Amino acid sequence: MPDASHGTDDFDLVIRGGTLIDGRGGTPVLADVAIRAGRIACVGEVAGKGTTEIDAAGLIVAPGFVDIHTHYDGQATWDERLTPSSWHGVTTVVTGNCGVGFAPCRSEDRDRLVRLMEGVEDIPGVVLTEGLSWDWETFPEFLAAIEAKPHDIDLAVQLPHGPLRVYVMGERGANLEKATPEDIARMAEIAREALRAGAVGFSSSRTLNHRTSDGKPTPSLTAAEDELLGIASALADTECGVLQFVSDFKDREAELALLEKLARASGRPLSVSLAQSDLSPDHWRGLLEWIHKGNEEGIPLSAQVAGRPVGLMLSFEATLNPFIGTRAYQAVRKLPFEEKLEALRKPELRQAILDDVAQGRVSPAAKALLRFEKTFILGDPPDYEQDPSQSVGAQAERAGVGAAAFAYDRLLGNGGRNFLYYPFMNYAEGSLDACLEMMQDQHTVLGLGDGGAHLGSICDASFTTHMVTHWARDRGRGERLPLETVVQWHTRDTARAVGLCDRGILEPGYKADVIVFDYAAMQLHEPSIVRDLPAGGARLVQQADGYRYTIVSGEITYRDGKPTGALPGRLVRGARSEPNPIIGNEGRS
């Protein structure tokens, strides 16, 4: 390969001899990467020296992952490290999804927004109450608060509908009352202000699954067409931002017509969350057909999809376990973990809980957690695509014991910290073939990892690593994907989906967000619970091996999975244009 540098220029960092996967989906090549002032300076055979040099021989060099569906709205205000995402090669996250967040907010509505986030995203209210500084009211002030704290990765923020509606309408907004023309005009004004201040989009929730911790629907659930069109006009006026929606699609035709009208009125890209349901396993196909039709008509529609099941981590230490809905369990439900565990080990309580299961004395909302034919032992390393013959129910049958008893005793192991895994979406047919079909569609983009949320029940922020290990290397139950395709999906494609076109590609002029990993050694570990949140709050995290270097804006932030102390991550205000070509002795050979 020809020399990409004359050898007279030195660089801040040179990564030498790695296998380059540049984010465009092309064939990997051996190349050096030189970085100066937070940007890729040249790619090829670099003769110039770096102040710091990395020997990447035998390693993969790729753009940092861009995760566009997270909920770090709270954590970003109190924590410099947006873990677990930053442990998994992620160098940029987008938060403010699903219509929930903490700005704009008046002081009298703080508890209301805490209850909303607690209920929708399973972030304990005590953690938010202790952790949030609330040194903001308006959305621009919230952005300023985020910007004032350095982070290990970059963060972009969307304006969430729930807080916006409550800020303008107060109790009326929380109670799902219809917005007046004056309310709508004010919401549009605030949306324009937010977009001009740097919001990368607007998000809203229209699903009954999203409720406050005291059971009330999310404020945006029934927002009418005129309200949504008023907000969409802000995106049209500013000519920036994306629209992100999650919906039940109960009245599918009416809902799709509304979303299509919003996309047309705003002129901006609109995405919806898409997953396979057990109740209607082919429902997602109809949504994709609508997306295809819209794109054929010039409407920029897409779906955010996941590369593995959306699954609950069940444990006596976690938010949920299979027996949480039984009558007998209620006596210990709110006990501290060690006291609860001591009680659960007693034969009489064990038998009472198992009798409740056998007699059907289980709350209706919790009965799905007893589907042992769809519940698995993940293992370490975890296997997210197990054959149904490996389910807890199937294993119990082979062992000649009841499935509930088998699950109960399994959960008591490892000091009561064992997990079971219940994939409640994207696993209707016992495989990930539907996920593969979704991911391969030209109008889908990877998302739904929910980093920073579902702290006691779901642990999917690691799915960037899972995409690399499972889909490109380890899958044994069907088609695998080229590594360069997986990288493109999680770098260039996700970045462009939200207008961050200055990253996700290793080319001169692009932002120097880079990961260097040992492909053969990359491995996920089973999730675990740590207590490192404000007020001693607990959360699920998942570690991974194989990431040798994570680089953000040209600075090494993690080396062999350990933080270096560098915190170059910054707030990203608004969309970013694709960089101009580099001309001269620096470039791609």
Give the distance, in angstroms, between the CA of residue 286 and the centroid of all CA atoms in the same chain: 24
Q: Is the pLDDT of residue 6 over 60?
A: no
Q: For 78-103, give the DSSP string.
A: H-S--TTGGGGTEEEEEE-GGG--S-
Judge whether 225 lies within some domain.
yes
- The CATH number for 46's domain is 2.30.40.10
Phi/psi of residue 86, each to 5°?
A: -70, -10
**CA 281-287-288 angle, 5° bins:** 100
| Strands, E assignment, 70-175 | 90-95, 154-157, 159-160
Judge whether 575 lies within some domain.
no
> pLDDT at position 9, please?
59
Q: By residue range, what is the domain housing residue 318?
A: 312-425
**CA 83-85-86 angle, 5° bins:** 75
Q: Does the N-terminal peptide bond of residue 579 adopt cis geometry, omega within 30 degrees of 0? A: no
* 582 band by pLDDT with thresholds 50, 70 and 90: low
> pLDDT at position 340, please?
97
Which residues make beta-bridge pairs with 14?
34, 53
Of 317, 344, 247, 274, the C-alpha closest to 457 is 317
| Strands, E assignment, 252-317 | 270-273, 301-305, 310-314
The reply to whether 303 and 336 lie within a common domain is no
Q: For 422-452, give the DSSP string.
A: EEEES-TTSSSHHHHHHHHSTTEEE----BT
Q: What percent of the chain has pLDDT over 90?
A: 96
Q: What is the mean pLDDT of residues 516-545?
A: 97
The reply to whether 303 and 361 lie within a common domain is no
Number of compact structural domains in the chain:
3
The reply to whether 211 and 138 lie within a common domain is yes
Decide if 52 contacts 13 (C-beta within 8 A): yes
Q: What percent of the chain has pLDDT over 70?
A: 97
Q: Does the N-terminal peptide bond of residue 104 adopt cis geometry, omega within 30 degrees of 0? A: yes
The reply to whether 550 and 407 lie within a common domain is no
Decide if 486 contacts 468 (C-beta within 8 A): yes
Encode pLDDT of 490-509 as tens digits.
999 999 999 999 999 999 99
Encode pLDDT of 369-428 as tens digits.
999 999 999 999 999 999 999 999 999 999 999 999 999 999 999 999 999 999 999 999
SS3 content of the chain, % helix, strand, coil (to 5): 35, 20, 40
The reply to whether 329 and 468 lie within a common domain is no
* 1 band by pLDDT with thresholds 50, 70 and 90: very low
Judge whether 552 lies within some domain.
yes
User: Which of the residue ranges 7-11, 107-111, 370-374 would you say has the lowest mean pLDDT?
Assistant: 7-11
The reply to whether 122 and 248 lie within a common domain is yes
Judge whether 515 lies within some domain.
yes
Decide if 384 contacts 405 (C-beta within 8 A): no
The reply to whether 24 and 37 lie within a common domain is yes
Total Cβ atoms within 10 A of residue 23: 25
Phi/psi of residue 520, each to 5°?
A: -70, -35
Which residues make beta-bridge pairs with 242?
201
Who's near 446: CB < 8 A, 6+ residues apart? Answer: 68, 304, 305, 306, 307, 439, 463, 467, 489, 490, 493, 494
The three-class DSSP label of residue 116 is: helix
The reply to whether 59 and 75 lie within a common domain is no
The reply to whether 133 and 165 lie within a common domain is yes
Encode pLDDT of 189-241 as tens digits.
999 999 999 999 999 999 999 999 999 999 999 999 999 999 999 999 999 99
The reply to whether 518 and 474 lie within a common domain is no
The structure's pTM equals 0.96
Encode pLDDT of 137-165 as tens digits.
999 999 999 999 999 999 999 999 999 99
Judge whether 4 lies within some domain.
no
The reply to whether 124 and 237 lie within a common domain is yes
In the predicted model, what is the mean pLDDT of the chain?
Answer: 96
Q: What is the DSSP letter of 376?
A: B
Judge whether 490 lies within some domain.
yes
Among 477, 497, 517, the domain-final residue is 497
> pLDDT at position 580, please?
83
Of 203, 211, 137, 205, the C-alpha closest to 168 is 137
CA separation for the pair 105, 139 (Å, rounded): 8
**CA 44-563-502 angle, 5° bins:** 45
Judge whether 212 lies within some domain.
yes
Encode pLDDT of 535-552 as tens digits.
999 999 999 999 999 999
The reply to whether 388 and 514 lie within a common domain is no
User: Radius of gyration of the chain from Cα atoms?
Assistant: 24
> pLDDT at position 5, please?
45
Q: Is the pLDDT of residue 7 over 50?
A: no
**CA 569-19-505 angle, 5° bins:** 40
> pLDDT at position 581, please?
66
Q: What is the mean pLDDT of residues 261-279?
A: 97
